[in-house]
Structure 1
Amino acid sequence: MNKLKQQHLKDAVKAHAALILSVLFTAFFMCGCADGSNAEEMILASESEAEATEALPETVSEEQISEPARDIYVYICGAVNSPGVYTVRSGSHVFEVIAKAGGLREDADDTVVNQAECVEDGMQITVPTKEQVKNGVTSKDQSASSTNISEVQDGKVNINTADAKELTSLSGIGATRAEAIIAYRNEHGAFTSPEDIMNVAGIKEGLYIKIKNQIKL
């Protein structure tokens, strides 16, 4: 695009020089004052102007076209006042999602959360408590669909990220119920509270009571 604009600019300058030269020739001949030396000088001047266009820079500055902002969905959980899935504009940052979630709780440890990080569609943000960090926190592997900032190694199964094998380690959860949990997540999105697992077909209050101390978000 820049080269095309550059060529158009050069062509315009050359055309302008040719027009000036034509007018000068006409004026000189009509006045009877043109001679060989004047014509030669005008030709040289025209050539010099044309050569000047060759020295123009190869690039022409132009405004950058930004991608339009769009709505994206981010899940935030852990030590925030209102965990859940929130809609934000693309290009938003972690601190903006935290604000939408009612801010950090008093027991939140924000030293392990990069609040200046830009969020992505489908991202998951987990804010740990100070006690959890004290007991040991490791960064969770990032994936294309979600990102956990931290995960506490407490032996509990994260029902939002666990695969079928991990889910079947829970009491009373076999392969069929594990697949039902994954299918529910795929259809409805991440669980916003541990109790939401009772919305999955085949998991009632009795089973939830058995596994509630084995699961987390």
Structure 2
Amino acid sequence: MIRLRTKKMGIVIIVMLILVVIIYSGTLWGKAIARKEIAQYLKDKYSRGMLVENVYYNFKRSGYNANVYCEEENVGFIVEPCSKVSGYKYKDCYYSSVWQKEIASEIRKDVKISDNTEIYVSMLRYFTEYENKPTIPYYTDALEKIERINIFLYNNIDETIDYAQLLEIISLLKTKKIYYHNIYLCYGDNAKTRKEIGITREDAEKIIGVDDIKRLINTK
């Protein structure tokens, strides 16, 4: 009798564990269905080569997210479930991924970037739901939709600040009227030990020359 109860208890625990895994991680068949749906959604919406790289469960929305790579634009982005009240099943942040790349390319085109510096642009993800093969506007035509832009300048070699380069970037952002929040100067090739200096847009607005940058950074 005791063995039978122990066996039943063991089965109950196993079932509960399986349910917990399903609730928080989804199911293999659920992921397979979502992968097929997301691939079709992207094909219908953008009509270009998109690779669904990874599908994973979104517990908050009770559905599946996907990491997607666009070969044509060489950018990655996220597809996630819509809220049920929207009337759509999926939405994606392809637009903002393209805009991030466009802004970084604009900086590289107009500013001479030193060989040991990498530029990364981040922004608040801008999600769009289904549209019939939309044309993505260039970032300059969508500035009202772009929020919380941050510019990262990575130097993996040393802590030498290229003040002239930084001044050019700040001047370019002003000219292009790109409403960014911060410019970060990041040093070191290790994420844990990397040093970071932040310049807010408010601080940058006061910068006229290299000496202004030096004074500002020396107070950080």
Pairwise same-fold verdict (TM > 0.5): no
TM-score range, shorter chain: under 0.3
- TM-score calculated relative to the size of structure 1: 0.27
- TM-score calculated relative to the size of structure 2: 0.27
Higher relative strand content: 2
Which structure has the larger Rg?
1
